[in-house]
Amino acid sequence: MFTVLFGIMMLVIFGKLVKFAVKASWGLVKIVFTIVFLPLVLSGLFLAGLAAFAVPALLILGGYAVLCGRRL
Protein backbone atom coordinates (compact mmCIF):
# COMPACT_ATOMS: atom_id res chain seq x y z
CA MET A 1 0.00 0.00 0.00
CA PHE A 2 2.77 2.44 0.88
CA THR A 3 4.58 1.51 -2.33
CA VAL A 4 1.57 2.52 -4.44
CA LEU A 5 1.16 5.76 -2.50
CA PHE A 6 4.87 6.49 -2.87
CA GLY A 7 4.70 5.83 -6.62
CA ILE A 8 1.71 8.12 -7.08
CA MET A 9 3.28 10.94 -5.09
CA MET A 10 6.56 10.54 -6.98
CA LEU A 11 4.71 10.87 -10.30
CA VAL A 12 2.89 13.98 -9.05
CA ILE A 13 6.12 15.66 -7.96
CA PHE A 14 7.92 14.61 -11.16
CA GLY A 15 5.02 15.99 -13.22
CA LYS A 16 5.22 19.34 -11.45
CA LEU A 17 8.97 19.50 -12.05
CA VAL A 18 8.49 18.74 -15.76
CA LYS A 19 5.82 21.45 -16.00
CA PHE A 20 8.16 23.95 -14.33
CA ALA A 21 11.02 23.00 -16.68
CA VAL A 22 8.85 23.50 -19.76
CA LYS A 23 7.69 26.91 -18.54
CA ALA A 24 11.26 27.99 -17.79
CA SER A 25 12.64 26.82 -21.12
CA TRP A 26 9.77 28.46 -23.04
CA GLY A 27 10.52 31.78 -21.35
CA LEU A 28 14.20 31.43 -22.18
CA VAL A 29 13.43 30.67 -25.84
CA LYS A 30 11.23 33.77 -26.11
CA ILE A 31 13.96 35.98 -24.64
CA VAL A 32 16.67 34.57 -26.90
CA PHE A 33 14.45 34.87 -29.97
CA THR A 34 13.45 38.47 -29.23
CA ILE A 35 16.85 39.79 -28.19
CA VAL A 36 19.27 37.78 -30.33
CA PHE A 37 17.67 35.98 -33.26
CA LEU A 38 15.19 38.57 -34.57
CA PRO A 39 17.67 41.49 -34.83
CA LEU A 40 20.23 39.21 -36.50
CA VAL A 41 17.72 38.08 -39.10
CA LEU A 42 16.55 41.62 -39.82
CA SER A 43 20.14 42.90 -40.06
CA GLY A 44 21.07 39.99 -42.30
CA LEU A 45 18.15 40.69 -44.60
CA PHE A 46 19.05 44.37 -44.78
CA LEU A 47 22.75 43.73 -45.44
CA ALA A 48 21.93 41.11 -48.07
CA GLY A 49 20.02 43.70 -50.05
CA LEU A 50 16.57 42.49 -49.06
CA ALA A 51 15.47 45.74 -47.44
CA ALA A 52 12.12 45.32 -49.21
CA PHE A 53 11.46 42.40 -46.85
CA ALA A 54 13.29 43.66 -43.76
CA VAL A 55 11.61 47.06 -43.45
CA PRO A 56 7.99 45.80 -43.64
CA ALA A 57 8.82 43.00 -41.19
CA LEU A 58 10.32 45.55 -38.82
CA LEU A 59 7.26 47.80 -39.15
CA ILE A 60 4.82 44.94 -38.56
CA LEU A 61 6.69 43.61 -35.52
CA GLY A 62 7.20 47.11 -34.12
CA GLY A 63 3.52 47.95 -34.57
CA TYR A 64 2.53 44.72 -32.89
CA ALA A 65 4.81 45.49 -29.94
CA VAL A 66 3.45 49.02 -29.56
CA LEU A 67 -0.23 48.15 -29.95
CA CYS A 68 -0.27 45.06 -27.75
CA GLY A 69 1.71 46.70 -24.96
CA ARG A 70 3.21 43.36 -24.01
CA ARG A 71 6.48 41.69 -24.82
CA LEU A 72 6.74 39.64 -27.98
Q: Which amino acid is at 42?
A: L
List the Cα angle 46/53/31 in 5-degree steps: 75
The tens digit of pLDDT for each residue in 5-63 reads 888 888 888 888 888 888 888 888 888 887 888 888 888 888 888 888 888 888 888 88
At CA 60, angle to CA 57 and CA 29, rounded to 5?
Answer: 75
